[in-house]
Structure 1
Amino acid sequence: MPSAEEMDALSAEFRAAIHEIQELTDSLRDGSAGLLEEVRAERDSLRQAREREADELAAAAREGEHGPARQELQRRLDRAQTTWRAVMSGQDEHWSAVEVRAEVVGDARQAIDDLETADPGFAETYREIAPLRADKEPGEW
């Protein structure tokens, strides 16, 4: 059985270890709080940039800079006659939605083709999952 002095020494070591763990925990908590704040700030910045870009694209579409289909679709969006969700899902069958949907899908297909060419690993992974969507119409995947 340990002596009283040995027990006091062990107790002191234990308290020192607990104190060290608490300091480390506090330091990690402070560091993670700082990182979380940085992530929140970056997320807000990206959201604001996305919103600005969407506003700029909508303004350009209103002016007809992206063709008549985008201009008509933007008019319909502005009048709340449709939504982007309806356009991209295929629910909106208006000619402007059909044309813009085909354009967006074509752009996405080109981006996928470019990624497959540049990254064989991506191509392999994509080809494994793409057949699962082969029978779907644009907007259904």
Structure 2
Amino acid sequence: SLLFSARLPPEVLALAAKYLRPNAVFVHVGDWQGASPLVKQRLELVSGDEVRKHLLIQRLQQLQGMAVVFTNSMAAAAEVHTLLTQQPGLSVSLLHSGLEQQQREEALQCFRYGVTRVLVATGLAGRGLDMPDVTLVINYDMPISLPDYVYR
């Protein structure tokens, strides 16, 4: 049996140990408990929803690459997506679990191939997707937990 995970919290390790053979081999690659040291992190605290929206639009209009904007809910993702699609010069895809599988695949394909340069997503996109061309990640809503932050 093979088990792959970006992160194995203690409860998952305990569950895995229950079903794996006693001589199972675990391979850890890199620092799986924190963010990469290659990632530049910046915190901007803003007050008021209008200020937050304005700052988001400003950052994305200055973008020289590809960005993922994370929200904590499908409703927030849809709202941010609508806001951004109304901005001249921004090409935006939407990704959340409420979409049909085909819609999610189309959104990812458009983003991966550069048809859209901004992906608005819930935590769904933070897990298991490899997006090496992303140059900016914006947590429009702060993640609920530290592991969610690291995944994003």
Larger Rg: 1
Which structure's relative contact order is higher, taking Cα pairs within 8 Å and 6+ residues apart?
Answer: 2
Q: TM-score of the superposition, structure 1-length normalised?
A: 0.26
Greater fraction strand: 2
